[in-house]
Amino acid sequence: MKKVWLSILIILVSVQSSTEAIPNVKTDTKTEKKADFRIAYNKVRQEEGYYANHPHDLGKKTYAGITKKYNPDWYGWKYIDKYKLQQNQQVTGKDSLMTEFYVLDYYLTIWVKEGFNTLTNQEVANYLFDLRIHVSRRQAIKLINRAYNTNYVNTEYWVDNTLDTFDLTTLKEVRTEYYLKRIKSNPTQIVWKKGWLKRANKI
């Protein structure tokens, strides 16, 4: 199974950098075109970067947006913990490909298991996936329910294609309000304010 996933990784992700655009693949125009995971993934990676361990980051040690605090058993740590990385430094050398494989596996698992692959609106898929990655699944669902007066519940497969039609304007406002409340309740988080608000209001 690992060999199969490694083959997928080699096809999808550049060895040099996972944040580089992944080449387009021809799709069957006779079927309904689904949102492209690769596009959403690259956008999230541009936001999340590589290694981080900021003293005010509640997630503590993080790589590509994956926190060790909440994901201690993620297999990528086996490779990352070999190195004394600096802020936003990437694993390089012989361990770089396997590290990126497990990053991709982490994100692709969320995309498929939570139902993002049912979406057809790429813009909506990009934004919702970014929201889901930046906050917890529970919190993402709460914000979506608040914005659209829906009743999604915190189950693993929770995304459906009714979200395709939603205007993102209200969700951006609700997400912005959420970040401001977080900062108010914990002033140490003000260090992230500019980046959070920018992220909340972009696609």
The CATH number covering residue 176 comes to 1.20.141
Domain-embedded: residue 124? yes
Q: Which residues of the chain have pLDDT under 70?
A: 1-31, 203
Domain-embedded: residue 41? yes
Continuous H helices in 114-167: 122-134, 137-148
Domain-embedded: residue 76? yes
Domain-embedded: residue 20? no
* Non-local CB neighbours of 73 within 8 Å, separated by 6+ positions: none
pLDDT for 141 equals 98
Tokens describing residue 30: 């006779």
- Phi, psi of 64, deg, nearest 5: 55, 35
Domain-embedded: residue 162? yes
Q: How many CB atoms are located within 10 Å of the residue 32 CB?
A: 7
pLDDT for 203 equals 67
CA-based max dimension of the chain = 52
* pTM exceeding the 0.75 threshold for the entire prediction: yes
Domain-embedded: residue 88? yes
CB of 64 closer than 8 Å to CB of 103: yes
pLDDT for 56 equals 76
| Domain that includes residue 177, residue range | 34-200
CB of 200 closer than 8 Å to CB of 179: yes
> Which of these, 58, 40, 61, 62, lies nearest to 131 by C-alpha position?
40
pLDDT for 57 equals 74
Domain-embedded: residue 13? no
CB of 120 closer than 8 Å to CB of 33: yes
Domain-embedded: residue 24? no
Number of domains observed in the structure of the chain: 1
Rounded (5°) CA angle 5-119-18: 40
CB of 194 closer than 8 Å to CB of 166: no
